[in-house]
Structure 1
Amino acid sequence: MNSPTSGPPRTLKHLVLNIVVSIMILGGCLFGYTLLGERKRPARSKPNKPAATAVTTEALQRHQGPLSIGSNGVVVPLREIRLATEVAGRVVEQSENLRPGREVSKGETLIRLDAIEYELEVRRLAAQKTQEDAELAAADVAIENTAHLLRLAEEQVRLASAERIRADALVARQAASVAEVDVAKRAELTAKSALVELQNRERELIAQRTLILRKQALTEVASERAKLDLSRTTVTSPIDGRVVQSGVEEQSFIAAGTSFVTIEDTTAIEVRSNLTVDQMYWVWNSAAMANQFDQGNHGDRVPPVSATIQYRLGKRVYQWQAVLARIDGAGIDLDTRTYPCLLRVDSPANVVAVETDSAGDRSDNSSLPGNGVADGPRRLMRGMFVSVTLNVQPTRTLYRVNEVAIRPGNRIWLDVDGKLRVVPVEVISRMNDAVIVDADIDSALAMSTLPTSTMPTSTVTADQVAVIISPVSDPKDGMPVMTSGTTPRQAGRTPAGIADDASALDSEKAAG
């Protein structure tokens, strides 16, 4: 029996109808896919590749005039003097300028010590010298008196000797007794003894006089020393300078040898700048070096290359003139691998203010004399972080190119007789949008003038060489190029920006 909930049984008619409908649906899908899914691609024709790449060039210019080598530096004092008291004493007077930061002039009294003790010592030695003069005069008188007594004693000896001789003669004639002869001899001996005593006394007085003279010499030295100590109670400034450090106050006691002030010389000042080995190469191979020293015999000396010291404050740049003086030390600094050089500024107060615009370029007719600078530093001061520009006159040929012509890896592309030549360069200096480079142009010219089987030998000079400033896709040395024109220099574009432009152009060509 069938269950009351089950449906009616399927018939053959329904089965056939389901199969036919399914076949029709599948056929419609197949027909739609075949008719609408297939699309013919349009025919694309690849453009013919040009025989030469169009580039924009500029003429290769030789650099004329001095070469500017830029660096940074720190202002340091030319010399520092530490003054110390040479005598002890209490400070009774002090200069108002004996304060850090104030300027003192040469010969100005800095401190004055209590000089009573030293004045008394000078007076004591003067009195002692007077006493010794009196003793010397007394010794001279005693010597003179002894000389008179010596003459009398010598006469007495002569008379006593004559008396003895007469007594001996009388005894020989038996006219006198032996006792009378003894008396005469005794008188002669007494006279001779008195003479010897006077001679000894004279020698003693002469020795005493010599001793007094020696004492006078010592007193004279002590008097000079006392006067020197008295003069040292007043300490003056030996130079024109600025007080860096002061450690003394009025009414304080200072022992001998106490350092109380440090003064830096302001008549001249130095700027310490670290120059690289490449920069020192151009300094040592400058015209100033050839004029100052013999070639190959300069050692580690540097020529007097002129330089400009700049200190920027807002929109103004303050300038001083300097000269490269010496290398500070025995050679290359082990930490920085640079040459620590010192530049001397003989007139640190001679400042010139130059007005600049927002881009850092100088404005016209904006120089002001140093006496007219009232809104900035009037002189170079220690600790200033400044810019240093050395004005070197090179002895070899350098070239000036646009900044956009410098390719990654410090290379430039030259259009030499219709061919691209990749030339490595050394960037020496930058001037606005121009770059001063050292390049071996002769090698590029030699490669372009080599004879080939299809091209006759040509002669190309450096004046006929052009610098490629436009981007080139897939540049290769020797690829043919043609000049399409000259574009104005694009200041501010770097080699990295040029590489980005070339990459974008390659992407467009690949997508097209």
Structure 2
Amino acid sequence: MTQSTMPPSTTPPSTMSKSTMSKVASIISPLIVVAVSLLGYVVLVAQKKAPGQKVQADSISVVETIPVTLFNGHIEIKLDGTVTPLREITLSAEVAGRVEKKSPRCRAGKYLAPSSFILKIDSQDYDIEFNSLIKDLEEAAVVLKELEVEVINTNQLIELAEEDLKLQQKEMKRIQKLRERNVATGSQLDKANQILLVSKRSLEMQRNQYRLLGTKRFRLYRSGEKILLRLKQAYLNQQRTTITSPVRGIIVKDHVEQGEYVKKGDPLVTIEETSAVEIRCNLKMDELYWIRQQSTSNQKKVSIKSLSKKKAKKRVKKKTDSFETFNKQVADHERLRKKLDQLLAQVSGDNFDDIHRPLMRLVEDFLKEESSLAVNMSDASGQISDVSLKQRISYELPLTPVKVTYQLNDEIFSWEGELSRFDGAGLDEKTRTIPCRVIVRHPLQSSEANKKGLPALIRGMFVNLIMEVQTDIPLYQIPIQAIHPGAVIWVAKKGKLHIQPVSIIRQTSEYALVRVEKNKIMAGDNIIISPLATVEEGLPVKVKGVQ
């Protein structure tokens, strides 16, 4: 039996060498990539340091400069605003009734002049009431005249009673003398005494009647005054049936039509006043700061002096107000009494038919005159006398002129206005600005008044506002091209460039303003305005035009 034996298998040399090389390459390749990356990083870092900071000793940059100057002009504040009406007035019915007549111009969008007729409420009821009170007043005047006649008659009766009493007193004395001589009897003396008592009683009754007539006359006078006051109320109701425009303006909305019945207090028409307009705008806190800086100490002193005088006048006025009110009430009654007396004096004899004409003159005079008990509006001037001037300035805006402009195509129209008041109190929570109002008192008087098609300032127009504010704070003016990122400037001193940070408080498209006392620059310092490729502190520079 024969066995065959196979030789052991072995790997060829070529296969082993390829596997070893593959393993070595997989280890070396990452090392090569890392080395190349490190080399590239070193090269980039070296290139980054070289261009900006390297200064060649043999080259000096030539620069243009401008000297630092003090700011002597005015600070210009530019804002945007929206035109709003100065006020909207809703006229309401002061009396009830049916709308009898309505003006054709009583429509939304129509313009009204002051005192223009708007509508009329039926006044028949008020006319009847007025005429009825006239008759009541005539009747009261007739009763007063009758009372006057009765007073005259009573005076005559008193005179007769006094003469009769004197006669009875003489008769009594004569009877007493006769009785002493036993000529007259006791019954005759008693009868004479009885007649004397009757005369005294008659005289006293006439005197009592006279005093009663005086009281009755006083009551009738007060009744006449009451009728006059009711007559004045009726007259006012008559006048209130005719509705006219109290201002110059445009009707925004008409609420009623002809033939409708309106109650007292119902709205009739809403009018937007156009004699003046307001512009709603918003101020930043720094802009408000500059506006308030324009107030001078002299103006404050004058205001304090005038304010103290007004306080003194008000203290004196408070003490006399109560006495003046009482005196005016007495004067009202006395004046009415005199007028009624004059009226009665014009009626002669028993002829009362002509009393109507003088009575109408009395009523006319009474209706035209203002009541002395009306509220005194002399103090309603808007002046504040209960707080100090400092507090007032803190919560009010100084009157600052404002130029209002509006662009229509290629035309620019402008108006003159003034910053008048805050629109409420405090900052707006969303914009963090202060709402303000600018008033334009003549919205039709534009600087371009000679041009046709001139627009008036009307509600909703977007306008531009320019305020020029003077300040006493010393400021430096720096051209805007000299301000570099980071709020720094380049100052050329003794052939070297110095980087100087500045604190900018106001910046426009042309210049920036910085405070004098809060910056390390001086008036006359040369500020570099030309661009430079590389900048560092102490860089050698040469000012252009300087040898």
Task: Please report the TM-score for the alignment, with normalisation by the length of structure 2.
Answer: 0.65
1:466 pairs with 2:543:
no
CA contact (8 A) 2:475 2:513 kept: no
CA contact (8 A) 2:476 2:523 kept: no
Q: Aligned equivalents of 2:434 and 2:79: distance in 1?
A: 12
Equivalent AA in structure 2 for residue 50 of structure 1: Q
1:306 pairs with 2:401:
yes
Q: Aligned equivalents of 1:240 and 1:203: distance in 2?
A: 59
- Relative to structure 2, which stretch is displaced further, 300-309 or 120-129? 300-309
The secondary structure found in structure 1 opposite 2:458 is coil
CA contact (8 A) 1:399 1:439 kept: no
1:50 pairs with 2:56:
yes
The secondary structure found in structure 1 opposite 2:165 is helix
The secondary structure found in structure 1 opposite 2:268 is strand
CA contact (8 A) 2:103 2:119 kept: yes
CA contact (8 A) 2:95 2:237 kept: yes
Counterpart mapping for 1:420-431 below 5 A: 420-426=498-504, 428-431=506-509
The secondary structure found in structure 1 opposite 2:138 is helix
Tell me by how many angstroms 1:173 deviates.
2.9
Equivalent AA in structure 2 for residue 482 of structure 1: V
Q: Aligned equivalents of 2:299 and 2:82: distance in 1?
A: 27
What's the counterpart of residue 255 of structure 2? Answer: 247
The secondary structure found in structure 2 opposite 1:248 is coil
The secondary structure found in structure 2 opposite 1:238 is coil
Which of residues 432, 436, 451 is equivalent to 1:372? 451
CA contact (8 A) 2:68 2:526 kept: no
CA deviation profile, 1:324-372 (whole Å, cap 9, x unmatched): 23334455556544333322222222335xxxxxxxxxxxxxxxx2342
- Name the Cα RMSD after superposition: 3.8
Counterpart mapping for 1:438-449 below 5 A: 438=514, 443-445=519-521
Equivalent AA in structure 1 for residue 417 of structure 2: A
What's the counterpart of residue 479 of structure 1? Answer: 538
Q: After TM superposition, which residue ranges in structure 1, 4 or more long, deviate above 6 angstroms?
A: 44-48
Equivalent AA in structure 2 for residue 161 of structure 1: Q
Change (3 A) 1:471 1:111: farther
Change (3 A) 1:381 1:329: same
Which of residues 512, 535, 538 is equivalent to 1:436? 512
Question: More helix per residue: 1 or 2?
Answer: 2
1:408 pairs with 2:502:
no
What's the counterpart of residue 398 of structure 1? Answer: 476
Tell me by how many angstroms 1:91 deviates.
1.9
Q: Aligned equivalents of 1:165 and 1:173: distance in 2?
A: 13
Q: Aligned equivalents of 1:443 and 1:153: distance in 2?
A: 110
Equivalent AA in structure 1 for residue 242 of structure 2: T
Q: Aligned equivalents of 2:421 and 2:189: distance in 1?
A: 100
What's the counterpart of residue 492 of structure 1? Answer: none
Tell me by how many angstroms 1:465 deviates.
0.7
Q: Aligned equivalents of 1:277 and 1:84: distance in 2?
A: 42
Tell me by how many angstroms 1:135 deviates.
1.0
CA deviation profile, 1:285-322 (whole Å, cap 9, x unmatched): 34x65674469968335444333223345555443332
Q: Percent identity?
A: 28
Tell me by how many angstroms 1:482 deviates.
2.6
What's the counterpart of residue 329 of structure 2? Answer: none
- Relative to structure 2, which stretch is displaced further, 321-330 or 212-221? 321-330
Tell me by how many angstroms 1:223 deviates.
1.6
Equivalent AA in structure 1 for residue 166 of structure 2: R
Q: Aligned equivalents of 1:441 and 1:148: distance in 2?
A: 101
Change (3 A) 1:155 1:259: same
Q: Aligned equivalents of 2:531 and 2:492: distance in 1?
A: 12
Which of residues 125, 129, 133 is equivalent to 1:125? 133
Tell me by how many angstroms 1:378 deviates.
0.8
What's the counterpart of residue 453 of structure 1? Answer: none
What's the counterpart of residue 37 of structure 1? Answer: none
What's the counterpart of residue 340 of structure 1? Answer: 435
Tell me by how many angstroms 1:158 deviates.
2.8
Tell me by how many angstroms 1:53 deviates.
6.9
Q: Aligned equivalents of 1:441 and 1:117: distance in 2?
A: 79
The secondary structure found in structure 1 opposite 2:246 is coil
Which of residues 258, 269, 272 is equivalent to 2:280? 272
Change (3 A) 1:147 1:424: same
- Relative to structure 2, which stretch is displaced further, 305-314 or 264-273? 305-314
Equivalent AA in structure 2 for residue 123 of structure 1: N
Counterpart mapping for 1:224-243 below 5 A: 224-243=232-251
Greater CA radius of gyration, 1 or 2?
1
Change (3 A) 1:134 1:371: same
Q: Aligned equivalents of 2:118 and 2:247: distance in 1?
A: 12
What's the counterpart of residue 349 of structure 1? Answer: 444
What's the counterpart of residue 376 of structure 2? Answer: none
CA contact (8 A) 2:444 2:456 kept: yes
Structure 2, unpaired ranges of 5+: 3-11, 22-45, 303-388
Change (3 A) 1:53 1:318: farther
Q: Aligned equivalents of 1:307 and 1:439: distance in 2?
A: 25
Change (3 A) 1:408 1:231: same
CA contact (8 A) 1:414 1:423 kept: no
Q: Aligned equivalents of 2:480 and 2:213: distance in 1?
A: 101
CA contact (8 A) 2:62 2:541 kept: yes
Change (3 A) 1:427 1:387: farther
Change (3 A) 1:427 1:120: same
Q: Aligned equivalents of 2:125 and 2:194: distance in 1?
A: 63
Equivalent AA in structure 2 for residue 94 of structure 1: K
The secondary structure found in structure 2 opposite 1:299 is helix
What's the counterpart of residue 100 of structure 2? Answer: 92
CA deviation profile, 1:351-406 (whole Å, cap 9, x unmatched): 35xxxxxxxxxxxxxxxx234252xx712222333332222234333324144x43
Structure 1, unpaired ranges of 5+: 2-14, 27-43, 353-368, 446-460, 487-512
CA contact (8 A) 1:423 1:440 kept: no
CA contact (8 A) 2:99 2:259 kept: yes
Q: Aligned equivalents of 1:53 and 1:102: distance in 2?
A: 75
The secondary structure found in structure 1 opposite 2:271 is strand
CA contact (8 A) 1:90 1:253 kept: yes
1:384 pairs with 2:384:
no
Q: Aligned equivalents of 1:419 and 1:408: distance in 2?
A: 16
CA contact (8 A) 2:490 2:497 kept: no
Q: Aligned equivalents of 2:428 and 2:237: distance in 1?
A: 46
CA contact (8 A) 2:476 2:516 kept: no
Change (3 A) 1:351 1:159: closer
Which of residues 211, 219, 223 is equivalent to 2:227? 219
Task: Please report the TM-score for the alignment, with normalisation by the length of structure 1.
Answer: 0.69
CA contact (8 A) 2:80 2:465 kept: yes
- Relative to structure 2, which stretch is displaced further, 145-154 or 56-65? 56-65
CA contact (8 A) 1:69 1:429 kept: no
Equivalent AA in structure 1 for residue 264 of structure 2: A
Tell me by how many angstroms 1:107 deviates.
1.5
Q: Aligned equivalents of 1:303 and 1:177: distance in 2?
A: 106
Between 1 and 2, higher relative CO (CA 8 Å, sep ≥ 6) is seen in: 2
Tell me by how many angstroms 1:208 deviates.
2.1
The secondary structure found in structure 1 opposite 2:437 is strand
Q: Aligned equivalents of 1:185 and 1:443: distance in 2?
A: 120
